[in-house]
């Protein structure tokens, strides 16, 4: 594991974007595992800047997102599909046909999970998986549990996650209770992982996930086992690391 601590959000976002830039220079058809939430927005802005400056070409890249709320259509402004178009895809030259996100409004959720597994497999796996981490240690929407859930699966969101995500919705009642998420196996199979966390409110979970025991009650702790994990932190999120 490599931990990189940045003094400012700008520095962190730039460093994060450089991982994608280097990958796409060496492998223009790379499979990018992407994430939603507040954390990656600045990094996505840097990717957009680099694209506009002619430094990154996404024309052959593939994108696979971690998760989607069950019950929200792709046109719903709260869906992660919408988030990705708004914050990244519509500003760069990635082919929409190469952008994959679980479909949250299918009748057969289990079949959708199986379909998503097939998508990831058919792409040959993920080259670089970007991750945030929830205050309860979730990665993707893999919530704390008794075991690490392996494949893409439906989840009941933890109360803490619903509260944390309520800030994006009109009210907490509007936050979907369920989601489809890539599982721990899909994440751990990525050839490299970039975990990003910012802010003092993440300092405790960053310490517990990276320095504590590997425990499914802190899903992010499994990342300690990944052979190619880079952790990008700002000073505040790194505040509890020795």
Task: Find where tokens 């593939």 sit.
Answer: 62
User: Which backbone phi and psi does 49 adopt, to 5 degrees?
Assistant: -60, -45
**48 vs 162 by CB, closer to ligand PGA:** 162
Is residue 220 at the binding interface for ligand PGA, with CB under 6 A as the rule? Answer: no
Is residue 180 at the binding interface for ligand PGA, with CB under 6 A as the rule? Answer: no
Say if residue 227 is exposed, middle or buried (CB neighbours under 10 Å; 0-12, 13-18, 19+).
exposed
Is residue 37 at the binding interface for ligand PGA, with CB under 6 A as the rule? Answer: yes
Is residue 183 at the binding interface for ligand PGA, with CB under 6 A as the rule? Answer: no
Among 38, 59, 86, 93, binds ligand PGA (CB under 6 A): 38
Which of 46, 53, 41, 38 lies closest to 14 in space, CA to CA? 46
Q: Is 138 a catalytic residue?
A: yes
Structure tokens belonging to residue 170? 């009109």
Packed helices 9-26 and 39-52: angle between N→C axes, nearest 10 degrees: 60
Among 6, 17, 31, 39, binds ligand PGA (CB under 6 A): 39
Q: CB under 6 A: which stretch of 82-90, 113-121, 126-134, 178-186 binds ligand PGA?
A: 126-134
Is residue 12 at the binding interface for ligand PGA, with CB under 6 A as the rule? Answer: no
Structure tokens belonging to residue 171? 């009210």
Q: Is 67 a catalytic residue?
A: yes
Among 33, 134, 176, 186, binds ligand PGA (CB under 6 A): 134
Tell me how far apart the alpha carbons of residues 22 and 151 are, in angstroms, rounded to a whole number.
29
Is residue 86 at the binding interface for ligand PGA, with CB under 6 A as the rule? Answer: no
Q: Is 136 a catalytic residue?
A: yes
Contact 210, 172 (CB under 8 A): no
**Chain residues that interact with ligand PGA, rule: CB under 6 A:** 37-39, 132-134
- Which residues are the active-site residues? 67, 136, 138, 143
């Amino acid at each position: 594991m490599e931990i990189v601590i940045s003094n400012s959000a700008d520095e962190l976002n730039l460093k994060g974007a450089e991982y994608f830039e280097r990958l796409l220079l060496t492998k223009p058809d790379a499979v990018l595992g992407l994430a939603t939430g507040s954390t990656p927005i600045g990094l996505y802005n840097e990717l957009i800047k680099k694209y506009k400056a002619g430094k990154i070409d996404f024309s052959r890249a593939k994108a696979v997102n971690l998760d989607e709320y069950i019950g929200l259509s792709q046109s719903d402004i709260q869906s992660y599909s919408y988030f990705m178009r708004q914050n990244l895809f519509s500003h760069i030259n990635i082919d929409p046909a190469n952008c994959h996100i679980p479909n949250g409004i299918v009748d057969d959720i289990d079949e959708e999970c199986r379909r998503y597994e097939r998508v990831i497999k058919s792409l040959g796996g993920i080259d670089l998986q970007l991750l945030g981490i929830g205050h309860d240690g979730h990665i993707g929407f893999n919530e704390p549990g008794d075991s690490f859930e392996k494949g893409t699966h439906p989840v009941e969101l933890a109360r803490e996650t619903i509260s944390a995500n309520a800030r994006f919705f009109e009210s907490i009642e509007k936050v979907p209770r369920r989601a489809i998420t890539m599982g721990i196996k899909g994440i751990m199979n990525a050839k490299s992982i970039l975990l990003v966390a910012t802010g003092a409110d993440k300092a405790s979970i960053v310490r517990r996930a990276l320095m504590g025991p590997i425990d499914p009650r802190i899903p992010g702790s499994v990342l300690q086992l990944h052979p190619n994990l880079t952790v990008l932190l700002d000073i505040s999120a790194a505040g509890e690391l020795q």
